[in-house]
Amino acid sequence: MILTEMGANKIAVIKEVRGAVPGLGLAEAKALVEGAPKTIKEGVTKQEADEIKKKIEAAGAKVEIK
């Protein structure tokens, strides 16, 4: 999963990224979101990827599944 664009609501996107990636701290999530395009998570099932994508896109970012 790749975060392609941060979107306008950075704080909401950071919260969703932290929820999607266990063990990710606030500083790491912020750096990941601000450094888009970046890989969010690898090796996830299609169903899990779709759920994460919906949440992050609802927060205003753009996500690509590869």
Residue 66 is predicted with a pLDDT of: 86
Total-model pTM: 0.87
Q: pLDDT at residue 48 above 90? A: yes
The DSSP code sequence of 1-66 is -EEEE--S-HHHHHHHHHHHSTT--HHHHHHHHHT-SEE---S--HHHHHHHHHHHHHTT-EEE--
Q: For 4-46, how does the pLDDT look when each residue is reduced to its tens digit (9 = 90+)?
A: 999 889 999 999 999 999 899 999 999 999 998 999 989 999 9
Average pLDDT over residues 49-66: 93
